[in-house]
Every structure is written in C-alpha cells, then in structure tokens.
Amino acid sequence: MRRVPSGPRSAASVLVLAYVAFVSLGLPDTVLGVAWPSLRAGFGLPQAAMGAALTANVAGYFVSGLAAGRISAALGVGRLLALSTGLVAAGLAGFALAPSWPLFVACAVLVGFGSGAVDSALNTYAAVHFAPRHMNWLHACYSAGATLGPAAMTFTLAAGASIRAGYAALSATLGAMALSFLATRRRWEGPAAAVGWAAGSAWAALRLPRVWLQLAIFFAYTGLEASAGQWAFTVLRETRGLSLEGAGTWTAAYWGGIAGGRVAVGFAVGRLGPDRLVRAGTLGALAGAVMYALLPGVGGAAGLVLLGLSLAPIFPMLMSRTPARLGAAVAAHAVGFQVSAATLGMAALPSLHGALADALGPRAIPVALAGLAAVLALLCALLQRGRPAAG
C-alpha cells in the first residue's frame, strides 16, 4: 500500500500541513462554552438555548461524515479539504456577524458540516498514507487545538474585545487553512483505489458486519471519553468533596492525560503494535473507571486520570487499522461512518448521564462509566478476534 503521495519533500509538506490541520480542526469545537455567557446576554436567551447550537453542529457533522466518502470520490481529497475548511471559515464568520440567534444556529450547521468532512477526509488519508505513530500525534494535535480555542477566546474577552472579534479571528485562521489546502491540492491525491474513494462502495461498507461493530465501538468510545470529561468536575466537587481548585485540576489532568498519552503512544506503537495498544487501553480504561467509581477522594480522582491515559490510543489506533481491517475498497466510507457514530456518541451519552444524575444523583455517573468501559472492552475484544480484510 502506498504511503507517500509523491516525492519526499512533498510528503513532508503534506504531513506538516496535516498536523496543522488537526490543530485547526480542534480550534472551534470547544469555544462555545466560553462564548456562551456573552451570546446569552447579547441575544437574550435562556440557558437551555445552548442545546440548539450544539444540536445543529452535531447534525451537520453527522451528515457530512456519512457523505464524506462519496464527496471525496467526486472531488478528490485535496479539493474536499479546501472546500470543507472554507465552509467552516464561512460558518465562523457567520458567528461573528449573525444579527439574530436563528442565523447563529444556521451557521452552526455549516461549521458542523465542514468539520465533519474535514475530520473524515483527514482520518482516512492519515490511516492510508501515514504510519500509526503519526495518527496518535495528529489526534494529540486535535487536543491541542481544542485547548487553544477556548484559551484564544478567553484572551480576546480579557483584552476587552467581543466574542465577534474572537470568532472573526478563528474564521481568518480557518480561511488561511482552506487556502493552504487549495494550494497543495495535487499533493493530496493518489490512486482512488488506495483510499477507498470508489463511487458506490458506501453500501458495500454497510453490508459488512465488522463495519457495524466498529460503529458501535466508536459510539461507545466517544461517549465514554466525553461523559467522563464533561461530568468530572461535578462528580469530584459535589460527591467527592474536592475543592473548586482540586476538582478543576483533576479534570484538566484527565484531558491532559488523553493528549499526553497520545504523544507517548506515538513513540511506542512501532514496538507494541496498534492492536496490543488498543487491548491495553481498554483494560486500563476499565481499571481506571472502576477506581473512579469505587474509591473516594484522591483515589477516585487518580482513577479518572488513569481512565484518560488509557483512552489515549484507542481512537487513533482504531482509525489507523480501519483500511487493513475492513479493506481498502470501503475504507473512506467506513471512516466517514465512524466519525458520524463518534459524533452521535459524544452528543448522546453525556446527555444520558445527565438524565441519570437527575434521577439518581451524580454518584451514579462513575458507576455508569465503569459499565460503559466494560462494554467498550468487550466490543474491542470481539473486533480483534476477526481477521483483517484483504485489500
């Protein structure tokens, strides 16, 4: 399987651009929480209105993930990346200019649609052309972008500027990325068969039972990662008695464990192999989730961090193995479906954990996370029992 799109210099430039692209992909994803108080005050909204923007974004992300393989077949990956990143930049510009809340929500669909296509295309390209270590480091770059986005918006507000200025700056950043993709579009192209961008193979992907198993895995994985992170502060503060600073520090350590773990795994994957790292990650995640559920105080918080560290290799390694596991003929479509399933898990399962907390109290969340970690470990074990597909 060909891993280099052209000459060494061209391949290196594409790799660098891919790293920057993953940072930029994470930039807008976590900004809404920082911008929300200003948005709510500016548009006169209730707290629950945030759900409309989140739902719109997820809907766009989900649809574009499903369609990414077919769009790639029509446009090629370079043009797809340029066009989709341009859509994200346009949506962010809409955030900066929107005179009303309905228009802001409409722009969230645009941002989600563009981001989902970029996510699918970049993951597919990386799975085929880059070594597994780069897949880990690329996803670490996404985590870095997801950290920088809120920091940049916070800095903008602290400097006395408005959220509109913050969104305008993000739009300009993504616009520059779109131009970079456009200028390098030919360097991203390779034989269509090598990346599964053959028209008509989407239905072939959906006929494979293993595709559905991987969709379940990605749904469970992102649901576990997002639920643990979103509810960590509440659990540690309200049920474990940690101080505000302590709960915040341990929550940050959880997210930092995922990012740092991906950097470390990139150095280890050549020796240990992707499948062994996924197996160790699922077992470590289960152990960390059980610690988090059963141990009080710092012991439970340490379990939360172990959970984050253990989750680090799972998503990128499963993405990296998709072409070998499912076959090149359906790889791009399968990756797009996986991105859509991951988006659904990230949206649905934290909400379900919130409903559980309303019914039984926040103490129930770590117990539910331990159960979800067990399901993830079982699903991954079932996946690894099968043979890789030909192609």
Domains and CATH numbers, the chain: 8-199 (1.20.1250.20), 204-385 (1.20.1250.20)
Question: What are the tokens at 277?
Answer: 């790292």
pTM attached to this predicted model: 0.74
Tell me how many helices (H) and strands (E) the chain has: 16, 0
> CA quadruple 172, 93, 160, 39: dihedral positive or negative?
negative
Residue linked to tokens 């629950």: 48
Contact criterion met (CB below 8 Å) for 309 and 258: yes
Per-residue pLDDT of the chain (391 residues; tens, 9 = 90+): 344 444 555 677 788 888 888 888 888 877 877 788 788 889 998 867 877 888 888 889 888 877 777 777 778 888 888 999 999 999 999 999 999 999 999 999 999 999 888 888 888 788 778 888 888 888 888 878 877 887 788 888 888 899 999 999 999 999 999 999 898 888 877 544 344 444 446 677 777 888 899 999 999 999 999 889 878 888 888 888 888 778 888 887 888 888 888 888 888 888 888 899 999 999 999 999 999 999 988 899 999 999 999 999 999 899 888 887 877 667 777 887 888 888 888 888 888 888 888 889 889 999 999 999 999 999 999 998 865 554 4
Contact criterion met (CB below 8 Å) for 357 and 369: no
Q: Which pLDDT score is estimated for 386?
A: 62
Distance separating alpha carbons of residues 58 and 384, to the nearest angstrom: 29
Contact criterion met (CB below 8 Å) for 328 and 196: yes
Q: Report the Cα 354 to chain-centroid distance in Å.
A: 21
Contact criterion met (CB below 8 Å) for 210 and 335: no
Question: What are the tokens at 374?
Answer: 């067990």
Q: Which pLDDT score is estimated for 190?
A: 55
